Structure formats: C-alpha cells, structure tokens
Structure 1
C-alpha cells in the first residue's frame, strides 16, 4: 500500500489529483492539507481521510509515503524540503518552483535524503499526444522541423496567481511550461535559445505579471518551437498542439474537437468533456506512472530534473522579455 498525502485543497487537488488517486488499487489517501481546517475538511470529506493544516504533521505520519503537492508555487520548496526531511517522496505540480534557485534547492534536498521528486506535468501523458508520438516515430509525417502549442484561459482559477510573490510569474511560468514540455517532447532535443514577447493586456488592474506571451524556441537539432500562452483568452480554454513534418502534419485539439462543448462566459471554462478531464488531460496516466515508478524503482518520464530544465527555458524567456533579444538557455541537467 502506498500512502499519499495531498498538499492543497484547491481546484486541481479536488478535481484532478484526489479523484485520480482514489481510483488506484493499492493506494491510500492518508490526509489532505490546506491552509484552513474548513478547506481541508471539505476536500478530505469525500475520501474519508484526515484533514490537516500542517505539512510537517502529514509528512510525519508513518502511513504516508509520498506528499502530492498541489499548492501554490511558494509552497513547493518548503513542502519538498519537509518531505525529504521525513524520508518521504514528493510529487510536485507545475511549475516545479518559482525560479531556478528554488528548483535546485529542491533537487539537492531529495538527493541528500535519497528520496524521489516527480514533476506533475500532464502534457506528455495526454493520450492523444501519445498517439501522435507513435505516428511521428513511425515516420508518418517525415522529419519533424516545427512544433507549436497554444495554451490559453480567460483568467486563472484562484486569486493567488495574480500575486507574483506567490506565483513566481504570470502566463509564461503558469502556462508556457505546458507548451515548452510539448515542444521538447516532439522536438526530441534540448532547447538552445528562446525569444519571448509578453505583456499585460486584460488584467492590468489585478497584476503586474504578464497575461499574454509568445515564445519561439530553437532546439539543438534545429527544430523550431512556438508557444502561445495566455490568461487573456476570452470565452473558453485553448489546448492545441501541432507537429509539422517534411511529409505531413498533426493537429491535436484537446478541447474543441469534442461532440459537446458548453462555454460559461462568467467562469471562462469549457465543460463538460465527453471524456473526463483527468483522463483526457493525462492526469490519471501521469499519477499512475509515478506510483508505478515508486513500486518498481524505475526511472520516471517526468522527474524533478524535467521541471527544473523547463524553468531554465522560462528563466531565459523572462530575460528575453527584459532585453528584447534572443537569449541563451542556461545549462540543463538532462
């Protein structure tokens, strides 16, 4: 039995991670940790588990093996350090940290403790993208030379996103991390340089962080990556991926090419999907992969080093926004 404590009681914890974890045999949700007892109890109630407000108490529980951190980015570093100090593994939602320094401290903590850190980036686990990867590997579109991702929402689902001190940044850190990981997944190469344009067009009264960004990434093998990411998309969500080859192209529209779509203008979300979001967006497969890795000791498709290296591109993108020039990406760990 693998005991998992979920750190966070917000949207992603309630709608994705908790329902996914509850489906796995041999997994026990040992607790839910939130900033208030009321929030913790509301999230923990359907799973008949403990509601806590102290991460250290969750990590100290002998029935807990891993902390699943689904909390704002300012919580990621201390939560991973607490997990490591108690000899517990950690799963951390994207972005891994607010910056490279925090990511390196997280990796150092788990290395010193001999524990594991998994990076909960769902994009490489999206079923449609796995099918696309098979088609590319089979040579069906020739040699890949350009990849493109569009990830957009009307606004974040919680006010803390608008506070750069807590979130670490805006749409680049929150949304472009998805697009960048898609581009790497299909470029099959390390990113070398990035040029970024960004601005705050819709939410100027709420944040100084960027709500819109466009990144162009050049990979070491010559592939061009394009990332269009925003908190400024009116009316619905966007999650589209394109792979261009010398003999064809692939388009994956993960939201709009569904037989049913209902758009709520006030909430800015599209619902319901005919396939549950935790399946269509890869969260179920992602968490299952992490649990299998813990059981077998096998390497993970998405560990802490992946999250750290995505932040290296984010760091270069922010430098590009400031300088107005294409920037080199600092050395990656992969």
Structure 2
C-alpha cells in the first residue's frame, strides 16, 4: 500500500524507519509537513517520490491508499476529517484526541465514511506485551486483579508537547494513554472502566500542565489498573509493567535495562536510545529500538487488517475509551476524589461478574494459603465458609 505520512518529526521518523526497513511492501509515497524544508529533507532521507506543505495535496493524491497521522495532538481532528472526506484509510498516532469529546468526533467521522481507522498504540504491540496478553488469555495467571504500568523520562522532544492548549495536558495525556491501554488489554477490553482516582502535580518544569502523576482505574469486575507517569525522571526511559493474577504474575521491563550495556570514557555526539541523557559512562542501548517499542508488529497488524477487511487490535474506539479514562483522571486530579469514567458509547459488557476469587478447599472451608515450611511441613490456612473463622492445619513431613 502507498502511504501519505502527515508530519516529519520524531515519531514520523520512527514510523518511516519501520515501514521502509527489511524490504517491506507498504511504502510511504508522500510526506506532508507544515514546513516545506522539513518535508523536503524527510523525503530525501527516505527516498520518497513526493513531498508537500499542503495537507489536502498529500491526502488527496490519487496514488495514496492510506493516511498516516504523525502530527501534534491539536491537528489530529482536522487530519482525520480530511481523510474521511477523501475516503482514505487512516492510521493515527496516540493519543487519538485531547479529550473524549474530540476522540468521539473522530470516531464518528470514520464510521460514517466507512473507512478503516487504526489507533497506533505501539506499546500494545511489543513482543513482550503480546506474549503476556496471550498468557493471560490462556489462563496462565488466573483472574487479573491488578495491573501496573509505568512510563517515565525527562520529557518529550518537541515544543508543542509542553503547550497545554496544543497537547491537551502534560504527562497524563502523553504517557498515560500508553499505560491505560496496556492495563485495558491485560484486564480485558470488554470490561467497563468505572471510575478513576488520580494525583497530579507540576513539580519541576515551568509549564501549565502536570509533569508527574499517578492514578488508579477501577473496572466493573473489581480489577484495578494503576498508571505512573513522569516527565521528571532522570536516567533514560523507564517502561515497566506488572500484572497480578489469582494464579500468577507477570513482570516486564521493556526499555531501561535490556541486557545490553556499554561503558565508554569517550564523550561522542552519538545517539544511544530514545530519551537517553548521556553518551558516556555506563549506557544502556537498545538493539532494535523500533522492534522493542512494537512498531513492526503494529504496522503489520494494521496493513493486514486493511487487506483482510477486519478490525486491528487497536481501533479508534479504543482511542476514544482511553481518552474517556484520561478525562476522568484529569477531573479526579482537580477534585481530589474518585471520578466516574463518562462513556457516551459503551460497546463492551455491562457487567463483568465482580466478586471475590474464592478457592474451595473442602465442603466447609475456603483455601487462603498453602505453603511448604523450611522443615518441609505443609501448612494450610483456611476460612470456614459459614462462620468466617480462620484456622490452620499442619501436615508434618
């Protein structure tokens, strides 16, 4: 397929590097940038046939099949609107909108136009993440009770991120969109997010938006999705996830420590990894950065889905739900209370069976815990089903 990429900045280059790697058959045909010199440079770097500073020209070019939006947040809606009007398939970077209302308008546009619309949430396509979701779906860790997702670094690359009007917020909208969607996938997208409690503050940077936040998302089945986000973390980019289930747990370290470490006393003008702050001493590069961040799997899913006329793993509807959760997070940070997740168009389960995960030991008892002691005795801790009394039994070795 032939692609018009809208944007020529940091994320656009990640996308282009991925799409033009390893002899892929889906190619970028044209690039749009608000600055013609940037478009020209981008086209030269990736050997593109066409470049322009006019968005309509890029989208409406007859050779373009798919529009790939890699623009600042405040330009997503106009780009989606133009793509829908042109009847072109559209892929949009995260977050879909600055608010749920904005995201819902974009969702409505693409559905009315009948075009394919994919939400480019790359961290839901990393190899470790995909394998983790598969393990959860296969029942390897039982019922998911709690998820934790953390993304922290020293701040984004471009000026518009730091402008609350253009971005829609700070670390919550920028990084929380990743963390929330990771949690939704682990818990189950069919489970309704109910309410959010969030703390946020501006602790370091002279900006109007938050540069640090932590939040809890409560789901209808009782599960909790926790997110931690920061633009104040020093020492690289920290991407970590945890999943706690009734029968097991998962722990992921995606970026900061990958098993690849270099020490150098020389200070050279060289790129180490995204958000790395030093280029000498101990450094922690990433072997294939695009692969580790999920881009190849993401684009393979998107273009396969277009060809197979199916939905991708991440859709505009997912982007809308993420925005609804983040809206509640911002409101909670303001009120210092649990705030409801307001979803105008919920398409999942209305009730997902909230309740305790109880394991029956025998006719009279629930099992609380069973363990082998250092002396090899087997200790069993039980709760009586009728009286609630807790007791223990020891089977001597």
Give the TM-score range, shorter chain.
Answer: over 0.9
For residues 239 and 112 of structure 2, the distance between their equivalents in structure 1, rounded to whole angstroms, comes to: 38
Task: Please say if residues 3 and 63 of structure 1, whose CA atoms lie closer than 8 Å, have aligned partners that are also in contact.
Answer: yes
For residues 130 and 182 of structure 2, the distance between their equivalents in structure 1, rounded to whole angstroms, comes to: 11
1:1-334 maps to which residues of 2 (within 5 A)?
2-14=1-13, 16-23=14-21, 25-49=24-48, 50-188=50-188, 189-203=191-205, 205=206, 207-261=207-261, 264-265=276-277, 272-274=285-287, 276-331=288-343, 332-334=345-347
For residues 284 and 4 of structure 2, the distance between their equivalents in structure 1, rounded to whole angstroms, comes to: 28
Cα deviation for residue 261 of structure 1 reads 4.1
Task: Please say if residues 258 and 284 of structure 2, whose CA atoms lie closer than 8 Å, have aligned partners that are also in contact.
Answer: no
Compute the TM-score of the two structures, normalised by the length of structure 1.
0.94
Task: Please say if residues 184 and 190 of structure 1, whose CA atoms lie closer than 8 Å, have aligned partners that are also in contact.
Answer: no
Cα deviation for residue 240 of structure 1 reads 0.1
Cα deviation for residue 266 of structure 1 reads 5.8
For residues 9 and 227 of structure 1, the distance between their equivalents in structure 2, rounded to whole angstroms, comes to: 30
For residues 75 and 261 of structure 2, the distance between their equivalents in structure 1, rounded to whole angstroms, comes to: 34
> Which structure has the larger Rg over C-alpha atoms?
2
Unaligned runs of 5+ in 2: 263-271, 348-397
SS at match of 2:173: helix
Cα deviation for residue 190 of structure 1 reads 2.2
Q: Which has the higher helix share?
A: 1
Give structure 1 regions of 4+ aligned residues with deviation exceeding 6 angstroms. none
Q: What per-residue deviation string (whole Å, max 9, x for no partner) do you get for residues 223-248 of structure 1?
A: 11110011111121110000111232
Q: What per-residue deviation string (whole Å, max 9, x for no partner) do you get for residues 203-231 of structure 1?
A: 1x2x1000001010111111111100111
Cα deviation for residue 84 of structure 1 reads 0.9
Task: Please say if residues 305 and 333 of structure 1, whose CA atoms lie closer than 8 Å, have aligned partners that are also in contact.
Answer: no
Cα deviation for residue 117 of structure 1 reads 1.6
Q: What per-residue deviation string (whole Å, max 9, x for no partner) do you get for residues 52-100 of structure 1?
A: 1111001110000111001100110000111111111111000001112
Cα deviation for residue 307 of structure 1 reads 0.2
Cα deviation for residue 174 of structure 1 reads 0.6
**Larger relative contact order, structure 1 or 2 (CA cutoff 8 Å, min sep 6):** 1
SS at match of 2:119: strand
For residues 51 and 44 of structure 2, the distance between their equivalents in structure 1, rounded to whole angstroms, comes to: 8
Task: Please say if residues 93 and 119 of structure 1, whose CA atoms lie closer than 8 Å, have aligned partners that are also in contact.
Answer: yes
Compute the TM-score of the two structures, normalised by the length of structure 2.
0.79
